[in-house]
Structure formats: C-alpha cells, structure tokens
Structure 1
Amino acid sequence: MSLWYEMDIPHWIGLFLLISTAVSPFILAYKNKTSFALATTISLLVTFLLQRIFSLIYSMTDVHVDPHNLLVTIPDIAWDPIELHRMLTATWLHADYFHILSNVIVIALIGIPLELRLGNRRFMVVYLIGGLGGSISWVIFNAGSTVPALGASGAAFGLLGSYLACWPKDEIEFPFILIRKWPISMIALIYFGLEVARAFSVYGMGEWSNVGHIAHLGGFLVCYLVSRPIAKTGPTPLDVVDSGPSQGGIHSALQSQKRSLMKSLDSDPWTKNNEDIKVHNVLEKLRTAGDEIETREAWMEKLVSIVRCPKCEGQLEVTNLSDGPSVQCSDKTCNFGWP
C-alpha cells in the first residue's frame, strides 16, 4: 500500500510547507523578472533548511512532520503511477550540508551564465530534463532496489552537459584550486571524467558508494543530447565566441535576433494615394535608416502622426512585435498592420 494512505495531519502540514517553500522563489522570480537559476539555488537551500527544521522538531518532540519518504526516488516503486512524482521531487531534497552545497555551487556558478545564454524558460526546461534524466538513469540501473535516492546532482550535471553542448568556448568564474575564469569545456569534462571513473569503480569493480554516479552521468548525457535543439531558437547563437554571457550580452543577442526577422519596407500603402511631400520624406527616411530597431521605431512614430489607416481611416500606433516594430491600426477589428 502506498505511503500516501498512511499520511496524518502533521505529514500533510509538512508536505504543504515543503512545496510552498520550494515553489515560492520561482513565483517571485517570475513576477520580478529575475534569474530562474538564482531562484533554483534559493529554492534548494530553503527547502534543505526546512528539512533540517523538520529533523529538529522530530528530535525534540517525536512528532514526525517530514514527508521525506513520500518524495525520494525508490527504484522498486518508481514506475507506479501514484509514485511517478518522486523522480522530480527527489531532486529538491538533500541528505546533508555537503550534499546541498556541492550542488548549489554548480547550479549557481554554471546555471546563472547558462541562463543568460539560453533565456530563463529554456534554462528551466534543461534543468528539469537533467533532474529527470538523472532520476530515470538511477531507476534503470538499480531496478528493484528499495534504497532511496535524492538530490539535485543529476540536474547540476545536466547544466554542465548543456553548456558543453552549446557554448563550449565560454569561460566562467569557478573554484578549481583558484577562483578564476576557466573554460566551460574543461570544467564540464573534468566533472564528467571523474564521474565515469567513480561509476566504473562501483559498477565495474564492486566498490561500495552511497553516491548516485549513474544519476550524475545520466543528467549530463541527456542534457548534452537535447540542449542544442532547445537552444537553437534561443536568444544567443550556438557556439558564439564573445566576451561571455551577461545581461548586456543577452539583450544584444535578442536585438540581433529581432533585426534579422524585420520585414522589408520597400512597399507601403500610402505612397500611391498620398501626394504630401512630408509623408514621402518620412517614408524615405524610414527605408534608408530603418535597419536598426530604434531608428525604425522612431520614424514609424513620426509616420503615424501624419497618416491614417488606409483601410478604415482610423488612428495608427506603433507596436513592438517579435519581428520588430510595426504600424498597427488602433481599431483592433481592422487588423491592419505594416510591414
């Protein structure tokens, strides 16, 4: 019988607090348009802190409020439909201080620059794929085991695999002996190589370990394989070599992408039926100086102040679309847009 049927009120309270604590940083990041990688780091840390508080309550009162056993990955029951959530929820739980710190260091230092390259939504997709890839790898290689697994290591290694696949020449600050900039290719391959050696010592030589090396490798490999298609439609070109990821860099990349999508201004609906030299001059300036988003938008603002909608004679306005500035009719039923 599933442990869900044995839940009492303290467990339900603990579960509610744990989920609320884990989700809150993401809600705030979404509302404030701040980093999801930073939100992930905070979420993992405050969730671990709540785990410690639950343990303290249990040690002092014998009241068990920690829903830990409902959330960790257990290979023997992992594919039971009512237990599938474990492969994701386990990635938010950690065993001890070293476990949590080793993961959040990677997630913060690798995740934040990677998010600047990918964009926040693609970052979260890659992060979750890494976490699930690690959990599924662990379940497959330990089929039938009742030993629980937990931790965000698969997701952390997934970020390394993703970065290596998409922007291997980037250099980021990382604590390898010295805290300085290191090539992401070196960081990722050292981490991956060490895990291969450790996994071989466990599975090939029979050494005992309480670390899920297979989960680490699984997260790394699955993200390495899927990240290029995910990043292809993102704000930063794949394999770009520049000064490195930054807020300014991602803004520049987004602007460059939008410029490449801007439509031609060669034809317009006003020239034929309008003899006003002022209109012709503005349109000419728009065509000659409209290669940049800002100048195109400025001349379009000038244009809408002197012309009317050619379909309904209504007022016009300038709207920023995914393919650049556009002149639109303010009457939404008209559906006029140019270019």
Structure 2
Amino acid sequence: MQKNKKALVLLNMGGARNKAELKMFLTNMFNDKNILTMKSNLLRKLIATFIVTSRLDSAWKNYEKIGNESPINKLTEKLVQKANEKIEDFMTYQVMRYTPPFAKNVIEQMKKDEITEVILLPLYSQYSTTTTKSSLEDFIYFAKDNFKIQIIETFYKNDSFNECILDEIISKIQSPSEYNLIFSAHGLPQKIVDAGDPYEKQMNEHVKILSDKLSQKGINFKSINLAYQSKVGPLKWLEPSLENMLKNFKNENVLIYPIAFIVDNSETDFELDIEYREIAHEIGIKDYKVCKCVNDSDEFIEAIKDIIK
C-alpha cells in the first residue's frame, strides 16, 4: 500500500463493450439532466426510452464495424496502468459516466485504499456542461465528504498537452502545405451554448493556440479549420458541420484531428475514420487522413504530470 494517500481520478463518458452495455450507455446518457435539459424527470425518462429503443440496433451496427467494442475501455485501462507506473505520489483510477467503472464503485475501492485527497481530471480538455460538469457532479455526489477534492476543469491551454497534439498532426503527413487541417469537435445543440456553456468559445481559443504553435514551428497547412461532428435530432447545432466543411475540399487533401477527445472512441474510430471517410470519398477528396487522440502515449503521461502539478 502506498504511503501517500492521494488519488488522481480520470473522468470520461465511457463506451460499450457489448450490446447490453450500449443500451446502458444510451439509457444513462439520455437520462442525464445535463444532456436532456428539461425540468421534468418523467418527460426526460420517456424521451430517453424512445431514443434508446429507436437507436439501439442501428447504433450497434456501427460498433460491429469497429470490433464490437469501443476502444475507449482498453486504451483508458492502459492509460491508468501507465499513470500508476510513472506518476509518483498518486494512485490513479478511472471513472466512467455512463458505463462501468462507475463513480459509486470506484469510490468504495478508494475508501478501502484509504485515499484522503483526490485530484479530479475530466478527460475533456475544454469545459462543457454536457461532459465536464456532468462527470464532476456525478463523482462529487457519491464522494460525499470522504475526500479533500481538487478539480481541474480545463487543460486546453497546457503547453505539454498541446505539444502531444502537434506531434501527432506533424507525424501524419510530410507536406503540410498540400493538406487542409480540420479540427473536428463533438457538436452541441446551439441552445446549450446560448444558455452559457463555454465550450464553443474555448474550442475557438484552442484552435487558435494550436494554429499559432504550428506557425511558430514553420508548419503551414493549406488551411486550418474547425468543424463539428455527431449531430443528432432536429435542433440547431453548432456550425459548421464536418460534412459541410468537407464539401469545400473536393480534389484536395484533408487531415482530421479529433480535438474534443483525449482517448479514441466510437466517435473517432467509427464516425471519423469510417463514416466521414465515406462522405469524403463521395465528395471527391483526394486523400483523407485521421489523427489518433493522445490516448496512453508517454508524452501525454508527462503532460498529465504538468497539468496536475
């Protein structure tokens, strides 16, 4: 047992390991008051049930194309293992919001491990009520007063983290001037942003930071863009959509970086690498490449050390 009773807890949304867990994921997500924001719990539950029933089979077909499981689980387990090996003075745990391991169970283990101090690091570098706030509220609700808690709400301005992103972007292509770089972020309904969610503002700031860093390194893409993926339903969502952005680049080359994600998941492996690749092919894009997230890289472990310092 470690002498120092500090914990680093990595928070994320989770991902399905099988069809039953996909149903669990969708049910928990659409019952989250930060996702469906109406005041009536009953109405939320009814809408959630309708969405899950209507979407489960088609959503599972997408998972079948990436090996019947979201990559987020194994990659996060590797990230936690590396963190426990390389980050001194902390025991590292993971907590997922919509699939196991859940906060309630991890907190019970942490109490058995005699943890007294906790740093919560949501694995979303920009803040949103739909991700960061939801994950933090969930952990704090079950933690009660068992720990002294510190929270890291954002880390998109952290230099070490941004260098990890740039390393991946630079490694993907030899001639940046021949490629259009698109930072693809998970979309949000416009009404959530209008209600004060800082996600869009921080996303724009993050793209500016990364663009400036590329320029300082003398790396000049043909263009640098921000677009939003994953829109569902009839509401107005953040724009431009990734699909519409891709239409600008017929007969050109495109490099995608999944700027909203830290660990690869169904949105990166299925949506970006399969679904939007097909769209790019139909549009007539010459070369379409997708970057990996920072995942469990050694460089990201070093960035975490800097972020929690």
Give the TM-score normalised by structure 2: 0.25
Give the TM-score normalised by structure 1: 0.23
Q: Which has the higher helix share?
A: 1
Structure possessing the higher relative contact order (Cα contacts under 8 Å, 6 or more residues apart): 2
